[in-house]
Structure 1
């Protein structure tokens, strides 16, 4: 990963507040991708492995044309499937600025992808979803309101499902992502509930299971924040496979990341 936190770039119009940029990413959408991690998120998920992206005051301002230039240099490596993914943090907090960025990428024939929690659905987000985002990866936190609040610190999980409905109406591709935490999100009744909710969606190409891990604990400690899931255990291989088998009843493809 290319970390740009220590770089200094003048703050101009048409900029994005960026945390870091990863070259040759292979876990954030199809093919080889340039992944732009934007700064800022309104949620504080207990399992977040990039908590340094949460504060909106951090990051570095990058001009859109500079980012497009980086993508063009990488374009020969993208092949037929790769492209640019914006992640975070929550990238759609900067949805207004993402519109011209994605528009330029589309002009250059580069595949575009948004990795989001789906809590922002303003005019600019709708323009992105309807016109410029070839793919959306939507993070489903939890299927109950109490569970959602426990994990994220916020209520109103329905915003995510409203977002999903809008993407479905656009007719454009969507992947779901789901972090599998033993005894919290990895429960058969929750997996079935998610499958039942989305089983009739036509735009969902796959669901990605992300087994819980503790790789981000040191970042929480560096920030002086308490990591509240330190006693949570990781999934066994049998538990992961069992969850996968349940979800295969509802989705075209189930991938374990």
Structure 2
């Protein structure tokens, strides 16, 4: 029986993703996000309206069809938008995926930690990929348009206390997030965490500009440049003492 509780508002589905978690993955991008990050390359996922409704049964069937490609390390990643806005409906989907032996991951900005999000993460989520926007309150507000960077750190502590695996993701923007003091702050804050398996450095790119223009929005980072190879390597070197593994996506 289809009810509102098992309907997810989906922006798009990628059935052979290789950049959103370990191995080959089916990546489901959900519609809706409370942030409006300056560098968002999927701004069309921000609005709560739009998207296409899928029942958890429909999504389960789509994901299971991709299972032969997962191999030992692959699985499903729910991204967005912000997937935890729809945590309640994700619970029955992830419950079925876990029963089917499929690895589950969430790519989240860490602003939502209600009891639905807690149940989803504690019982059915193998991996949380947490997006760290900035280490300062001022930088966070500038990038996301929202206040209270501490929600991210509250979220990370919750995941750490659960003892379950977590990756961090950090977009490296020249002049905005790549300053040595910010990188050192990132490393020092998370150095004692036991659950962090990996830090992913996400090079800055402008692939989403045309989407901003199509929405009639002003892309404020037009003058920002992409990272040089040396800058990426320097960031990796700065962060290396603090994390088990660092990759450049």
Matched, 1:170 2:162: yes
Matches of 2:150 and 2:62, distance apart in 1: 36
Match of 1:245 among 229, 237, 242: 237
Q: For 1:14-33, list aligned pairs within 5 A.
A: 14-33=6-25
- Which among 191, 196, 199 is matched to residue 204 of structure 1? 196
The question of 1:84 aligning with 2:83 is answered no
Among 127, 135, 156, the residue aligned to 1:135: 127
Question: Structure 1 residues 13, 202: CA separation in 2 closer, same or farther (over 3 Å shift)?
Answer: closer
Question: Are the aligned partners of 1:11 and 1:62 in contact in 2 as well (CA < 8 Å)?
Answer: no
Q: Could you say what the CA RMSD is over the residues aligned between the two structures, in angstroms? A: 1.0
Rate the CA distance shift 1:233–1:56 in 2: closer, same or farther, 3 A.
same
Match of 2:38 among 16, 40, 46: 46
**Residues matched between the structures, number:** 248
Q: Structure 1: which 5+ residue stretches go unaligned?
A: 1-9
Structure 1: 4+ residue segments shifted above 4 A: 10-13
Contact 1:35 1:87 (8 Å CA) reproduced? yes
Which string of whole-angstrom CA distances, capped at 9 and with x for unpartnered residues, describes residues 4-47 of structure 1? xxxxxx98551100000001100000000000000000000000
Matches within 5 A, 1:91-240: 91-240=83-232
Deviations 1:64-85 (A, max 9, x none): 0111111111111111100000
- Partners of 1:129 and 1:170 within 8 A in 2: no
* Structure 2: segments with no counterpart, 5+ residues: none
Give the alignment's TM-score, normalised by structure 1. 0.95
Quote the Cα distance in structure 1 between the aligned partners of 2:102 and 2:7. Answer: 19
